[in-house]
Amino acid sequence: MHNNYYTLKQLTRELEPLLSRSVVSECYSQNKEELIIRFEIKNQSFYIKANLQPSFSCLSFPEVFHRARKNSVDLFPDCIGLTVESIRQFNDERSFAIALSHNFSLLFKMHGNRSNVVLFEGDQVHTIFRNNLEADENIAMADLDKNIDWRIEAMPDFAEGIRKHFFTLGKLVWRLLEKESFFTQAREMQWKRLLEIKLQLESPAFYITESEGSILLSLLPTGNIILQEGKVILALTQFYNHYQQFNAFEQEKAKALQAIGATLKSTNAYLSKTRAKLNEVTHDQHYKIWADVLMANMHAIKPGATQVSLPDFYNNNQLIEIKLKQELSPQKNAEVFYRKSKNQQQEIERLQKALDEKETEKQKSEALQTQLSNITSLKELRALLQTTHPSTNKKEKVITLPFHEFVYKDYIIWVGKNAQANDLLTLKHSRKEDLWLHAKDVAGSHVIIKQKSGKAFPKDVIERAAQLAAYNSKRKSEGLVPVAYTPKKFVRKRKGDPAGLVVVEREEVILVEPRLIDS
C-alpha cells in the first residue's frame, strides 16, 4: 500500500508544512528511472527520492543523499530556484502535485509500473521524466480528481463491481476482506465493514510487514509485522530500505542457489560419464586376453606377421583376430599387450579415485544447497558465501598458462590450447631437451613432455603423449594417427610464419590411437 491513495493523502499532509516556502535546489538522476529532488529549508536540505522502475515504484525521503561525481544528469532545470507554494492531493487518486512559483508544478503520479514525475507549466505538460510513457504527455491535472460514492445505494451487487467501485482500497485490503468471507455477507454488513475500513485508512498507523514472501507497507495490521511507524515519511523511507535489503537478499540467494544447482548438474554429469567409462574399462579385458593367447600359441605365430587368428581359450576356443607389430617378436607383442593391460588397471584405479573425490564434492554441494535454502537473512547468506567462496585480492593477477597439464607415470605432459598458445608453449615454456610432439601433416596442438634430468623418455610415456597429440588434432576421429616427435631443440620458428607453424629439422614418427587422458 506504499502507493495507495490513503498513504499519499497522509504523505501530502506531512509534506505541506515541511516544504512550504522551501526552494528547489537540485533535480537530477544518477540511476535509470530514479529521480532525486533536493529542497532547501532554512539552511537545511530535504530530499525526495522517486524510484520509478516498472517493477517497483516508491517514494522515500533520505536525510542525507550524496550525489555521485560521475554518471549523474541534471533534470527539470526550469524548476531550479523556484519556491514551493502548496501541495495538492488529488481526490481518490494516487497522484499529488507540488505547486511552485512562476506557475510551475511537479506532478507525482504513483501508478505502479506506470509511475512518473511530470513538470507542468500552467496547465500544460512541460517535461516528463519517463519519456517512454507517451500517454503522460497528454495528462490534464484538472481531470485527475475522482469521487467515490460511499452511499449504500451506490454500492454494486456483485463482487467484481464492488472492487471496481471502491478502487482506492487496493489489493491488500481486498485480500484481508476475503479472509473475513466479506463477499458472502449481507449487503448492509458489507457496507458497514467498508466504512470501518475507510475510517481506519483515514487515520492509520503504518506497518512494514512480511506477507506471502514479500515486504509490504500496510495501513492495517497484517502478516509478520517487522516495524510500526506513526509518521508516513519515516514509514515510506523505512519500507524502501527494508524492501531493497529483502530484494537484494532474495536475488543473491537465488543466484547462489542457481550456481550450486549448476555445480550439482555438472557433478552428476561427470559422475555418470565417469561411471560409464569405469564400467567400460573394467569389462574390457581384451589386452590381457590377447597377451595370454599369444603366450600360449608362440609356436603358431610366424615371424613378421601383422595379424594372427588364434583360439581364445577364455571363450570356448573361438577364433579371435589379433593385430601385431611386424617389427616385434610374438613375445614382445605380448609384452606390449600386458603393459597396456596394466595401464588399464591403473586407469581403473584412477577413475575410481576420481569418482570417490567427486562423490565427496557432491555431498558437500548438497549440504551447501540445504544450508542456502534455509538461510533467512542477507548477513547469514554473505557470511556463508564468504566461507565457501572466500573473496580474493583483486590486485593479484591470475596467470593463465597457455597449456593443459597432464601427468602420466610421473612425467608432466603439456598440451597447447590454441595456435597462439602453441607458440608460447614451444618457444617460451619448454627447454631444448624436452620432447616435442605433433600430429603429422595436420593442424593440432603442440605437445611437450618435460624432461627428467639424466633419464630417457619411456616408450609408453611417448605413446601416451602421442595419443594426446593425435586427440588434439584434426585427425582425432581416425583409427590410427601418425605423430611426429623430436627433442624441442630441433624445432624452430621462422620470422613471419603464422601462429602455431614451426619447422622441424629432425623427427621420428609413431602410430597411435587418438585418446584423451585426465590430468
Q: pLDDT tens for the chain, 519 residues: list them.
A: 899 999 999 999 999 999 999 999 999 999 889 999 999 998 899 999 999 999 899 999 999 888 887 888 999 999 999 999 999 999 999 999 999 999 999 999 999 999 999 999 999 999 999 999 999 999 999 999 999 999 999 999 899 999 999 999 999 999 999 999 999 999 999 999 999 999 999 988 999 998 877 889 999 998 889 999 999 999 999 999 988 888 878 888 888 898 899 989 999 999 999 888 888 777 777 888 888 888 989 888 888 889 999 998 888 889 999 899 988 988 998 988 888 888 778 878 888 998 999 999 999 889 888 988 888 777 888 888 888 765 444 444 445 677 888 888 889 999 999 998 999 999 989 999 999 999 999 999 999 999 988 889 999 999 999 999 999 999 998 889 999 999 999 999 988 888 889 999 999 999 999 988 654
Q: Return the pLDDT at 338.
A: 87
Q: Return the pLDDT at 389.
A: 63
Other Cβ atoms within 10 Å of 470 Cβ, number: 30
Q: CA 125, 130, 133, 137: dihedral to nearest 10 degrees? A: 10
| Local structure of 73: helix, strand or coil | strand
Residues 281 and 368 occupy one common structural domain: yes
Report how far residue 271's alpha carbon sits from residue 100's, in angstroms, rounded to the nearest whole number.
69
Domain boundary, last residue among 143, 162, 187: 143
| Local structure of 356: helix, strand or coil | helix
Residues 286 and 324 occupy one common structural domain: yes
Q: Is residue 245 part of a domain?
A: no
| H helices present in 284-311, as ranges | 286-296
Q: Is residue 84 part of a domain?
A: yes
Report how far residue 473's alpha carbon sits from residue 514's, in angstroms, rounded to the nearest whole number.
9
DSSP codes joined into one string, 389-452: S----TTSPPP--SEEEEEETTEEEEEESSHHHHHHHHHTS--TTSEEEEETTS-B--EEEPPP
Burial zone of 114 (CB within 10 Å; 0-12 exposed, 13-18 middle, 19+ buried)? middle
Q: CA 67, 70, 72, 73: dihedral to nearest 10 degrees? A: 130
| H helices present in 284-377, as ranges | 286-296, 330-374
Report how far residue 307's alpha carbon sits from residue 319's, in angstroms, rounded to the nearest whole number.
13
CATH of the domain at 51: 2.30.310.10
At residue 64, what is the residue type? Answer: V
Question: What backbone torsions phi and psi does residue 509 show, to the nearest 5 degrees?
Answer: -130, 135
C-alpha cell at 190: 458489507
Contact 85, 103 (CB under 8 A): no
Q: Return the pLDDT at 402.
A: 78
Q: Is residue 65 part of a domain?
A: yes
Domain boundary, last residue among 353, 388, 423: 388
Report how far residue 37's alpha carbon sits from residue 60's, in angstroms, rounded to the nearest whole number.
11
Other Cβ atoms within 10 Å of 325 Cβ, number: 12
Residues 223 and 161 occupy one common structural domain: yes
* Numbers of helices and strands, H then E, in the chain: 10, 23
Residues 29 and 113 occupy one common structural domain: yes
Q: Return the pLDDT at 394.
A: 44
Q: What is the domain extent for residue 216?
A: 152-230
Report how far residue 241's alpha carbon sits from residue 501's, in angstroms, rounded to the nearest whole number.
60
Q: CA 507, 511, 513, 515: dihedral to nearest 10 degrees? A: -20
Q: Within the chain, what is the greatest distance between any pair of CA atoms?
A: 116
Using the 8-state DSSP alphabet, how is residue 83 labeled? B
What's the full length of the chain, in residues? 519
Q: Return the pLDDT at 396.
A: 44
Residues 109 and 220 occupy one common structural domain: no
Domains held by the chain: number: 4
Residues 384 and 433 occupy one common structural domain: no
| Local structure of 121: helix, strand or coil | strand
